[in-house]
């Protein structure tokens, strides 16, 4: 890619779900008079608006957003596709602008833009075929246990309900005899822009309270109907997502609606914990409360001036 001026800066705002990343991103973008790109791997999908906490119409009207509800769940869109598209967008955007804000809680997708991918060895395609057969025959739990025993590091970070990610990790583990995590973070790919990372955190109880309230708001806003409209597509990878999986169980008569809602809250709290585990490993992230706007802006300004 064409090398751009070292004054171009991407401000990446990360943190767990429901922490207030969207609000902060909009305020930061207003301050720097710039646009926002989302690196939330579920907000890409047009059909998943309520359950993925897509910014409201008013929020979207305040600042121009990119990679929000831009594709359909019926198409394939990988993290590699996002790396390609995101970098292409920034290459063009930075020709006329100096600052861009990126926001999202999908650690792998954030890393795709800020660092790039690790390289993994090629393995026998039959391994994946065998894993898919085992998934169909025994369910995800058996594969989860194998991953836990073989690579506890990755098991503690990954969404273990995401079948595609579990199978991908086991494919490498079986094919090489080494932990999936041992192949990660080997290389960094220099970017054509500077990166400032801001992380948001709160005390656990406050964080969990925000999550519980957000789930209630989603239900009041029509999550049940949204999930019902997507039920016939429940096997799609995009829908192996907290908030939809639990309601699909309810539609199938396995649990009550009340239990499904409590499961969404519980699983969202677990997801938030995994997000924090992922982002805390990144030493370049500076951590703040979501209410420390002035302090955050001051931090960014200092970093920008020292670049």
Output the domain CATH number for residue 155.
1.10.20.140
Do 213 and 302 reside in the same domain of the chain? yes
pLDDT range class, residue 10, cuts 50, 70, 90: very high
Per-residue pLDDT, averaged over 23-27, amounts to: 97
**Does 159 fall in a domain?**
yes
Is the pLDDT score of 234 beyond 60? Answer: yes
> If you search the block for the tokens 């396995």, which residue do you land on?
254
**Does 63 fall in a domain?**
yes
Do 58 and 193 reside in the same domain of the chain? yes
Gap between the Cα atoms of 80 and 86, Å rounded: 10
Do 176 and 221 reside in the same domain of the chain? no
Mean pLDDT of the chain: 92
**Does 17 fall in a domain?**
yes
**pLDDT score for 1:** 44
Is the pLDDT score of 191 beyond 70? Answer: yes
Q: Residues near 48 by Cβ (< 8 Å), separated by ≥ 6?
A: 42, 54, 73, 226, 230, 238, 239, 241, 244
Selection from 56, 84, 83 nearest residue 68 by Cα = 56
Per-residue pLDDT, averaged over 244-264, amounts to: 98
Binding residues for substrate: 17-22
Contact (Cβ atoms closer than 8 angstroms) between residue 39 and residue 110? yes
**Does 4 fall in a domain?**
no
Contact (Cβ atoms closer than 8 angstroms) between residue 106 and residue 39? yes
Evaluated on CA atoms 135, 136, 137, 138, the torsion sign reads positive
Contact (Cβ atoms closer than 8 angstroms) between residue 190 and residue 116? no
Do 131 and 280 reside in the same domain of the chain? no
Do 206 and 112 reside in the same domain of the chain? yes
Q: Between β-strands 99-103 and 285-288, what pairing exists: parallel, antiparallel or unpaired? A: unpaired
Owning domain of residue 172: 125-183
Do 25 and 85 reside in the same domain of the chain? yes
Is the pLDDT score of 132 beyond 50? Answer: yes
Do 89 and 223 reside in the same domain of the chain? yes
Across 126-158, b (16+ Cβ under 10 Å) vs e yields ebbeebeebbeeeebeebbebbeebbeebbebb
**pLDDT score for 157:** 83
Binding residues for ATP: 15-22
Last residue of a domain, one of 162, 183, 204: 183
Evaluated on CA atoms 205, 264, 47, 84, the torsion sign reads positive
What would the two tokens of residue 74 be? Answer: 């019926």
Do 235 and 274 reside in the same domain of the chain? yes
**Does 2 fall in a domain?**
no
Is the pLDDT score of 211 beyond 50? Answer: yes
**Does 1 fall in a domain?**
no
**Strand residues in the chain grouped as ranges (E):** 9-14, 36-38, 65-66, 99-103, 194-200, 285-288
Binding residues: 15-22
**Does 97 fall in a domain?**
yes
What would the two tokens of residue 298 be? Answer: 């001051």
Is the pLDDT score of 176 beyond 70? Answer: yes
pLDDT range class, residue 2, cuts 50, 70, 90: very low
Is the pLDDT score of 156 beyond 50? Answer: yes
Do 199 and 177 reside in the same domain of the chain? no
Per-residue pLDDT, averaged over 50-77, amounts to: 94
Gap between the Cα atoms of 271 and 265, Å rounded: 10
Tally of structural domains, the chain = 2
Q: What is the CATH number of the domain that holds 58?
A: 3.40.50.300
Do 202 and 281 reside in the same domain of the chain? yes
**pLDDT score for 155:** 93
Do 175 and 51 reside in the same domain of the chain? no
**Does 139 fall in a domain?**
yes
Single pTM value for the model: 0.81
pLDDT range class, residue 188, cuts 50, 70, 90: low
**pLDDT score for 77:** 84
Do 49 and 96 reside in the same domain of the chain? yes
Gap between the Cα atoms of 155 and 144, Å rounded: 8
Name which residue leads in pLDDT, 75 or 86.
86
């Amino acid at each position: 890619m064409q090398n751009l001026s070292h004054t171009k800066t991407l401000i990446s705002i990360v943190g767990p779900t429901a922490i207030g990343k969207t609000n902060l991103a909009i305020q930061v973008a207003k301050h720097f008079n710039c646009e926002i790109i989302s690196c939330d791997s579920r907000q890409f999908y047009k059909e998943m608006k309520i359950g993925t906490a897509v910014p409201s119409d008013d929020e979207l009207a305040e600042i121009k957003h990119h990679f929000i509800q831009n594709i359909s769940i019926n198409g394939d869109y990988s993290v590699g596709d996002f790396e390609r598209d995101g970098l292409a967008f920034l290459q063009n955007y930075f020709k006329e602008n100096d600052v861009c804000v990126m926001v999202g809680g999908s650690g792998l997708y954030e890393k795709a833009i800020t660092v790039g991918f690790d390289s993994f060895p090629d393995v026998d395609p039959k391994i994946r075929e065998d894993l898919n057969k085992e998934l169909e025959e025994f369910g995800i739990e058996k594969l989860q246990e194998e991953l836990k025993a073989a690579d506890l590091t990755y098991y503690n970070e990954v969404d273990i309900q995401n079948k595609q990610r579990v199978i991908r990790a086991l494919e490498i583990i079986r094919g090489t005899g080494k932990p999936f995590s041992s192949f990660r973070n080997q290389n960094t790919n220099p970017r054509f822009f500077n990166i400032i990372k801001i992380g948001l955190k709160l005390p656990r109880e406050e964080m969990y309270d925000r999550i519980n309230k957000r789930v209630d708001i989603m239900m009041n806003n029509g999550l049940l109907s949204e999930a019902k409209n997507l039920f016939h597509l429940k096997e799609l990878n995009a829908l192996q997502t907290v908030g939809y999986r639990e309601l699909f169980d309810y539609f199938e008569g396995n649990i009550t609606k009340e239990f499904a809602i409590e499961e969404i809250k519980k699983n969202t709290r677990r997801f938030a914990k995994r997000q924090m585990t992922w982002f805390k490993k990144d030493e370049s992230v500076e951590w703040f409360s979501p209410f420390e706007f002035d302090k955050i802006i001051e931090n960014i300004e200092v970093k920008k001036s020292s670049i």
